[in-house]
Every structure is written in structure tokens, then in C-alpha cells.
């Protein structure tokens, strides 16, 4: 089943689109994995001011990002408390933090984990009647032909077969959906890289793999049926097609943003050059530092956009 839609559809008005007629029949919707409800949690009052939703792998990383963005924007944490509060406190599957108009959400590893929380966050901003909301994935990746610590702003995303589609099985049938990157949005964010940065920022193609080991051509997993030359030949091939980093979430993220009529962007820092090895060997101090690089770019964009919103009143 091919569910390709018109690329121009993403450029229409930015009301969040929930394409499920069954929700109209349900008066109560429990967002189970983030411990919220559309009837008992006053979502519009609590979250109606949200304009930016930032996703990252772990709760600790997103808590630190919330501290960073709160300082950058000069806004208070949710609940007007002294530190970020996990809004999903009664569940330990995901974490959501809020500072002013920004939500920070942990998504775990891989598309299956990300898709669950992304579906529920899309419903959350829909029920909260958020307008012109923008989504960002801020994460880590393996690089191809770029120095470790490089930030890649995704302008195209492909699967392991180098197709710009996300494949899934629904009711026993194969479903193919387009992963349509909003290239103008990606370029707009890219403009917030600065020549004085300690790191390089590039626009490029991201390959989204199904897993960390075999799906990314690694030879250091518990199982491997290819050799070093096979790996290098594959890496050279995908690099020749424009791929400059590999991770495990972007395809699902971009596909779902497109379906929801939400601007979505992916920025990932590279932790190694896969041409030189499979293992991440950065020391902890450097690893902690580089994980903040894509956050810096996104924070600059959000700060500029937020100030423009304040001027408009």
C-alpha cells in the first residue's frame, strides 16, 4: 500500500492534523505512555502556548536541554518551580519537560520507541489547540566522511535501501509512506550555524537504520554475517549517494511530522567517522560537550522565532 501524498500538502496551514476519524467518536482519550488525558488534564490551559517541541533520546539529556532553553529564552519551568519537572511523573517510559513555549520530550532508541511518544505528543498538541507548532529531533549519530562533533542538519532522509520512505506492516499489509523533509525549514535552521562555533554544521542526507549493529553495517555486534570489506564497500556506496550520517529515528520522525502537517527538522551530532571504526571511543567529557552542539543551533533558532512572536504580540 503506497500512501504517498502531495509534497505541497506540508506547506498548507500549520494546524496540527490528527487523521483518525475514530477519535471523533471518543470523548475520552488517555495518552497512556505520557500519563495525560484530554478530559481530566486541561490540556489547552497547560499546553496551549507550546510552539516548539524538541525530542531527544534520554530523559537526562532533555532535562538538561530544558535548563538550557529556559536560560536562553528567559522563561520559567512548568509549574514555576526551580528545576525541570517531568510532566509524565506517574510513568517511567518517557519524560516530558516544559519551559515557556518549549516542550522537551525523551523518545528512547529507534523508530518503534519514538513512534509511540510522537503519536501521543501529536495528539497532545492537537487537543491543546496549539498553532504553528514546530518539532525538532536533537540527537547523536555516526558520521560518514565528516569529523566527529559535526552537526548534520538533515535535508533528505532515506532507509537502509536508500529510499525516502518509511515501510511498516499494518493489519498484515506492507505500508509505504513518504519521508518528506521540509527543506526550506532545514535551510532556515542551518543559517543559525555560526562561523565562530567550535564545531562544523552541514546540510546532508541522513540514513535511518533499523538497528545499531547489522543495520548500520557494524562488525562488532553479537551476530555478523559480513566482513570488513563488505562493510567498507557499503559505507562507500551510501556515502557516494550523499549520506553523511546514520542514526535510527529520523525516518519515522520526518514521516510522522509530514502526516501531522507539522514542520519537522532533524539535527544530529556525529560521534565518530564510520570509515575509521565502529565503536564510539570519545571520552565522557568530550561526549557530553558534543551532545550539546545540535541543541545550540536549535536554541538559536527558537530564541529568534520566540522573540519575533513576542514582537507580534
Per the annotation, binding residues are 93, 137-140, 216, 218
3-state SS, one letter per residue, for 203-250 = EEEEEECCCCCHHHCCCCCCCCCCCHHHHHHHHHHHHHCCEEEEECCH
**Which sign, positive or negative, has the C-alpha torsion 43, 45, 51, 53?**
negative
**Which sign, positive or negative, has the C-alpha torsion 144, 146, 148, 151?**
negative
Packing angle, helices 183-190 and 293-312, rounded to 10:
100
Are the CB atoms for 171 and 257 separated by under 8 Å?
no
CA 197-285-239 angle, to 5 degrees, is 60
C-beta neighbour count of 302 within 10 angstroms = 23
**Distance from C-alpha of 256 to C-alpha of 297, rounded to nearest angstrom:** 23
Are the CB atoms for 108 and 57 separated by under 8 Å?
yes
**Distance from C-alpha of 194 to C-alpha of 200, rounded to nearest angstrom:** 9
Are the CB atoms for 258 and 251 separated by under 8 Å?
no
**Distance from C-alpha of 257 to C-alpha of 237, rounded to nearest angstrom:** 29
The separation between the first and the last C-alpha atoms of the chain, rounded to the nearest angstrom, is 45
- The conformation of residue 249, written as its DSSP 8-state character, comes to S
CA count, 13 A, side-chain hemisphere, 229 = 0
Q: Mark the binding-site residues for substrate, compressed into ranges.
A: 216, 218
Q: Mark the binding-site residues for phosphate, compressed into ranges.
A: 93, 137-140
Amino acid at each position: 500500500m503506497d500512501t504517498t501524498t502531495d509534497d505541497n500538502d506540508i506547506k498548507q496551514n500549520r494546524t496540527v492534523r490528527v487523521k483518525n476519524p475514530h477519535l471523533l467518536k471518543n470523548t475520552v482519550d488517555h495518552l497512556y505512555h505520557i500519563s495525560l488525558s484530554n478530559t481530566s488534564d486541561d490540556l489547552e490551559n497547560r499546553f496551549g502556548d507550546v510552539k516548539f517541541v524538541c525530542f531527544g533520546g534520554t530523559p537526562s539529556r532533555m532535562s538538561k536541554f530544558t535548563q538550557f532553553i529556559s536560560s536562553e529564552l528567559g522563561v520559567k519551568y512548568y509549574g514555576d518551580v526551580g528545576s525541570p519537572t517531568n510532566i509524565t511523573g506517574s510513568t517511567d517510559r518517557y519524560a516530558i519537560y516544559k519551559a515557556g513555549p518549549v516542550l522537551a520530550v525523551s523518545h528512547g532508541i529507534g523508530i518503534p520507541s519514538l513512534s509511540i511518544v510522537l503519536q501521543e505528543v501529536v495528539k497532545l498538541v492537537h487537543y491543546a489547540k496549539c498553532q504553528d507548532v514546530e518539532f525538532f529531533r536533537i540527537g547523536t549519530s555516526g558520521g560518514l566522511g565528516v569529523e566527529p562533533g559535526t552537526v548534520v542538519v538533515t535535508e533528505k532522509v532515506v532507509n537502509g535501501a536508500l529510499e525516502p520512505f518509511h515501510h511498516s506492516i499494518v493489519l498484515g499489509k506492507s505500508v509505504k509512506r513518504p519521508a518528506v523533509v521540509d527543506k526550506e525549514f532545514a535551510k532556515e535552521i542551518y543559517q543559525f550555524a555560526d562561523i565562530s562555533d567550535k564545531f562544523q554544521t552541514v546540510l546532508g542526507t541522513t540514513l535511518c537504520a533499523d538497528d545499531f549493529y547489522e543495520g548500520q553495517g557494524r562488525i562488532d555486534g553479537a551476530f555478523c554475517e559480513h566482513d570488513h570489506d563488505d562493510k567498507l564497500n557499503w559505507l562507500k556506496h551510501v556515502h557516494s549517494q550523499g549520506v553523511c550520517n546514520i542514526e535510527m529515528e529520523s525516518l519515522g520522525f520526518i514521516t510522522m511530522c509530514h502526516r501531522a502537517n507539522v514542520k519537522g527538522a532533524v539535527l544530529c551530532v556525529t560521534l565518530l567517522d564510520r570509515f575509521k571504526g565502529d565503536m564510539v571511543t570519545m571520552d565522557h567529557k568530550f561526549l557530553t560537550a558534543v551532545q550539546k552542539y545540535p541543541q545550540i543551533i536549535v536554541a538559536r533558532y527558537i530564541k529568534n522565532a520566540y522573540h519575533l512572536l513576542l514582537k507580534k504580540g
